Amino acid sequence: MPGLDLVPIWTAILAIGVFLYVALDGFDLGVGMLYNFAPDRDARALVMNSIAPIWDGNETWLILGSVGLLAAFPVAFAIIIPAVYFPILLMLLALIFRGLAFEFRYRDAEHRTLWDHGFAAGSGLAAFAQGVVLGSFIQGYQVEGRHFVGGSFDCFTPFSIFVGFALMFGYALLGAGWLIIKTEGDLQDWARALGRKCLIGTVLAIAVVSLWTPWTDPKIATRWFSWPHIAYLAPVPIITAALVLYAWRALNDRSEYGPFIAGLGLFVMSYIGIAISLWPMIVPGHFTLYQAAASPSTQEFLLIGTLFLLPVILTYTAWSYWVFRGKVRADIGYHH
């Protein structure tokens, strides 16, 4: 494929990969956070059953996201990952506890409470750490040449910590939406009530981040608020507001899929909003997508396999969700 510009394709693949991770592991991390609020032990078992068969497939997207960033934009990986050294560490350790809780919670009866708490706290901490990564990414890093040269704790700012909590609410909203799909009766009512709280938190968080970002960065403010940009970009906040209204109604009527879909919609809109703010930078303030792109030969070599394998993987994933479709119940687990 000589001469063909693959950077837009890789940008799209990486964007989709990261979004799939956020959407898929987002809801199961959210379910994990809501787990400890479940009314009793049977309810907790149901909550965990709702994601047991799919969580490790979901988490695999994280590997693909990180390795995909290295493959498509190696210098961005080499700058961003050391800059978020401790959030990444916390996320990895949290994911270990949370993932093993599935295996250990029942089989290691003596330590059940430890793994129960590990599941909930690990899910929350992983979500928070990912939010800190996102927040610090938006704010940018101290870079010299091709390297991050700041301190390992620079990424913890009031803004990034706020984004950490914001992402916890967002994931919890997705988790509540998932539980509404997978449960019924009292447990579904419980998930709806939690979902309403998460929605309020998520909306406040989106509003604060949407104002905080342009307030701290004049370039982002110009991009959003100068004429005629404000006219082109007006649909972003308008659609977001419409989704919030739809989510609220879906949580309050008997809609089963509405809350989850609306939650995903809010993530899509936030994602688009961040992309608009940062475009075309992959390391804000230092490297554009083109400047950070891997060598054309690298892009070609990986694209050939990816174009074949990614559809196959998506087919697997869709198939496994289809196999485990339907409500999860205490007596018989899944039923179709």
Partner 1 sequence: MHLDPEFLSRLQFAWVVGWHILLPAFTIGLASFIAFLEGAYALTRRPVFLNLSQFWLRIFAISFGMGVVTGIVMPFQFGTNWSRLSDAAGNIISPLLAYEGLTAFFLESTFLGVLLFGRKLVPPAMHFVAAVLVAAGTLSSAFWILATNSWMQTPVGYEVIDGLFYPKDWFAIVFSPSLPYRFAHTVSAFYVTTAFVVLGVGAYTVRRGQSPGEGRMMLRLAVWFLAIFVPIQVVLGDQHGLNTLEHQPAKLAAIEGLWDGGSGVPASIIGWPDQTAERNIAEIAIPKLGSLYLTHSWNGAVKGLKDFPADQRPPVAVVYFAFRIMVGIALLMLAMVACGLFLLWRRRLDDTGWYLKACQFTVCLGFIAVIAGWTTTEVGRQPWTIYGLMRTADSVSPSLTGANVLLSLLLYVVVYLIIFPTGIYTMLRFVWRGPAASEDDAAVDSGRPKSPIEALASATAETH
Smallest separation, CB 198 to partner 1 (Å): 23
- What's the rounded Cα separation, in Å, for the pair 145 and 151? 16
State CA 211 to chain mean position distance: 21
Smallest separation, CB 173 to partner 1 (Å): 23
Q: Judged by CB under 8 A, which stretch of 145-153, 198-206, 216-224, 272-280 contacts partner 1?
A: 145-153
Residue type, 319: W
Q: Is 297 in the site for partner 1 (CB under 8 A)?
A: yes
Q: Is 9 in the site for partner 1 (CB under 8 A)?
A: no
Question: H helices within 108-217, ranges in order?
Answer: 112-139, 158-182, 185-216
Smallest separation, CB 1 to partner 1 (Å): 14
**Collapsing DSSP states into helix, strand and coil, what is residue 148?**
strand
The interface with partner 1 within residues 171-230 (CB under 8 A) comprises: none
- Show the binding pattern over residues 24-43: x = contacts partner 1 (CB under 8 A), - = does not: -----------------xx-
Smallest separation, CB 264 to partner 1 (Å): 21
Q: Is 150 in the site for partner 1 (CB under 8 A)?
A: yes
- Toward partner 1, which CB reaches closer, 76 or 199? 76
- What's the rounded Cα separation, in Å, for the pair 294 and 7? 9
- What's the rounded Cα separation, in Å, for the pair 205 and 212? 10
Q: Which two tokens stand for residue 234?
A: 């007006």
Smallest separation, CB 285 to partner 1 (Å): 16
- Toward partner 1, which CB reaches closer, 235 or 326? 326
- What's the rounded Cα separation, in Å, for the pair 169 and 172? 5
- What's the rounded Cα separation, in Å, for the pair 214 and 221? 4
- Toward partner 1, which CB reaches closer, 150 or 214? 150
The interface with partner 1 within residues 260-289 (CB under 8 A) comprises: none
- What's the rounded Cα separation, in Å, for the pair 276 and 284? 12
The interface with partner 1 within residues 234-263 (CB under 8 A) comprises: none
- What's the rounded Cα separation, in Å, for the pair 78 and 294? 12
The interface with partner 1 within residues 59-118 (CB under 8 A) comprises: 59-60, 62-64, 66-68, 70-71, 74-75, 77-83, 85-86, 88-89, 92-93, 95-97, 99-100, 102-109, 111
- Toward partner 1, which CB reaches closer, 151 or 235? 151
Smallest separation, CB 290 to partner 1 (Å): 15
Smallest separation, CB 59 to partner 1 (Å): 7
Q: Is 316 in the site for partner 1 (CB under 8 A)?
A: yes
| Binds partner 1 (CB under 8 A): choice among 156, 162, 246, 334 | 334
Residue type, 190: W
Q: Count helices and strands (H / E) in the chain.
A: 14, 6
The CA angle 72-73-79, to the nearest 5 degrees, is: 150
Written as one string, the DSSP assignment of 271-306 is HHHHHHHHTTEEETTTEEHHHHPPPHHHHHHHHHHH
